[in-house]
């Protein structure tokens, strides 16, 4: 047992040391996903759960050499503050606004696919909500008909609770998301995302970057009008979806009755 604990401690220290080194060589800093990818490449034989745990420990207990300019963004302090600190660097902002190209680089509608393929993106997006966007302290994949309601069950649901280290303890928030890999179902998906505001403080719609530009433009405007968050992603790459935020969700005050009615189905998983 002692050997196992020692192994975890050694791995944690190795990841921590390498993370500082990686950030020291990145003037613009690194997003959480970028830092994790570099760690995985550096330690190919280290278990995924070990890396995730060590990286979580790193982000929660940042060394004095590392700063966190914005959510999910880390940078070595020797590069100092810059123009992009409050919302990411200008270069990174341009990359997000430009979106993600399709596999063939030409765009066009996403191929039709079933729920099985769509479900492959639920866990990656749940992780992205927690680690990159930092809208949740915990998020889980859902989908199906868990809520037993014709108004629908979100594909991903998350909770944001105050941490012990927080100076100001904010109230608990619920975040819901609808993921679509088929560009022909965007109107229905938008309606579902709106319905989730009934029981969530924030609702996100996650659609393929390969969707028709006219549809994405309409969703952009509608999302801002209704307070829905809009996320674009590469529907051809489940292992590296490259989620990119187009519109951040506005906070909504859900109906208390429906919050409790829906969350009783996932209470153990979400608040364990």
- Please report, in tens digits, the pLDDT of each residue of the chain (272 residues total): 444 455 556 889 999 999 999 999 999 999 999 999 999 999 999 999 999 999 999 998 899 999 988 888 899 998 875 444 433 333 333 333 334 333 333 344 444 445 558 999 999 999 999 999 999 999 999 988 888 777 889 999 999 998 888 888 889 999 999 999 988 889 999 999 999 999 999 999 999 999 999 999 999 999 999 999 999 999 998 889 999 999 999 999 999 999 998 998 998 888 87
- Output the pLDDT for position 81: 55
- Output the pLDDT for position 114: 52
Q: Which candidate, 169, 165, 149, places its Cα nearest to that of 266? A: 149
First to last CA, the chain: 25
Buried b (16+ CB within 10 A) or exposed e, 237-269: ebeebbbbbbbbbeebebeeebbeebbebbeee
Please, where in the chain does CATH 1.10.10 lie? 2-94
CATH for 99-270 is 3.40.91
CA-to-CA distance for 70 and 82, rounded, in angstroms? 12
Backbone angles phi, psi at 164, to 5 degrees: -60, -30
- Output the pLDDT for position 191: 95
pLDDT tens column, 170-197: 899 999 999 999 888 899 999 999 999 9
> Structurally, what CATH architecture does the domain formed by 2-94 represent?
Orthogonal Bundle (1.10)
- Output the pLDDT for position 9: 65
Please, where in the chain does CATH 3.40.91 lie? 99-270
């Amino acid at each position: 047992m002692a050997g196992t604990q020692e192994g975890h401690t050694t791995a944690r220290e190795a990841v921590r040391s390498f993370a500082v080194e990686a950030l020291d060589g990145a003037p613009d800093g690194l997003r959480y996903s970028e830092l994790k990818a570099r760690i995985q490449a550096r330690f190919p034989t280290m278990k995924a759960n070990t890396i995730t745990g060590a990286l979580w420990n790193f982000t929660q207990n940042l060394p004095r050499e590392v700063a966190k300019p914005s959510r999910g963004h880390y940078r070595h302090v020797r590069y100092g503050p810059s123009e992009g600190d409050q919302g990411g660097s200008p270069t990174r902002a341009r990359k997000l606004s430009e979106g993600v190209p399709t596999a063939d680089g030409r765009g066009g509608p996403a191929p039709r696919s079933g729920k099985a393929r769509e479900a492959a993106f639920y866990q990656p997006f749940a992780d992205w909500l927690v680690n990159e966007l930092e809208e949740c302290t915990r998020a889980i994949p859902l989908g199906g008909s868990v809520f037993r309601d014709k108004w629908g069950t979100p594909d991903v649901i998350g909770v944001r609770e105050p941490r012990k280290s927080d100076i100001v303890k904010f109230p608990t928030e619920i975040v819901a998301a609808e993921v679509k890999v088929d560009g022909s179902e965007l109107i229905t998906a938008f309606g579902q995302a709106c319905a989730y505001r009934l029981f969530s403080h924030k609702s996100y719609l996650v659609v393929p970057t390969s969707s028709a530009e006219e549809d994405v433009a309409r969703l952009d405007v509608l999302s801002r009008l209704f307070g829905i968050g809009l996320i674009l992603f590469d529907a051809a790459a489940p292992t590296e979806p490259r989620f990119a935020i187009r519109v951040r969700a506005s906070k909504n005050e859900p109906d208390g009755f429906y919050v409790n009615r829906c969350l009783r189905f996932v209470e153990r998983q979400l608040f364990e």
